[in-house]
């Protein structure tokens, strides 16, 4: 660990009270930046700020559409594992979104 006067490595940042987690620089990190907020907006996870669940289906749909756009724009340029991860995330979110929309129609 670096001392007070020693510079930090480029891959590490600190804040008062300890080290801050930085996600790895990989494709999955981009997907996760849209995936987890969509889960929160779908009401499937607690909002980390409020600690409560709330739905915002319009915003969830926007994040799902952004992931779809990412999938379309990266087609043919991803490793199999990256493609499968992105497709799985999009498919899970779309299924959850459709269940929410169907429940509203009843």
Give the model confidence (pLDDT) of 77-91 as tens digits: 999 999 999 999 999
| The two three-digit tokens of residue 3, written as one number | 């001392």
Question: What digits encode the pLDDT tens for the residues 14-55?
Answer: 555 567 888 789 999 999 999 999 999 999 999 999 999 999
- The C-alpha angle 21, 87, 83, rounded to 5 degrees, equals 75
pLDDT band at 1 (very low <50, low <70, confident <90, very high): very low
Q: Is 8 helix (H, G, I), strand (E, B) or coil?
A: coil
- Say whether pLDDT at 3 is over 70: no
Q: How far is CA 30 from CA 16, 24, 34, 49, 98, in A?
A: 26, 10, 7, 21, 23
- Helix, strand and coil content of the chain, in percent to the nearest 5, comes to 55, 10, 35
């Amino acid at each position: 660990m670096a001392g007070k006067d020693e510079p930090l490595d480029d891959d590490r940042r600190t804040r008062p009270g300890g080290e801050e987690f930085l996600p790895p620089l990989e494709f999955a990190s981009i997907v996760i930046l849209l995936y987890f907020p969509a889960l929160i907006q779908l009401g499937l996870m607690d909002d980390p700020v409020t600690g409560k669940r709330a739905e915002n289906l319009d915003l969830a749909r926007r994040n799902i559409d952004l992931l779809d756009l990412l999938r379309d724009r990266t087609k043919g340029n991803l490793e199999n594992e990256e493609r499968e991860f992105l497709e799985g995330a999009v498919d899970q979110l779309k299924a959850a979104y459709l269940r929410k929309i169907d429940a509203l129609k009843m």
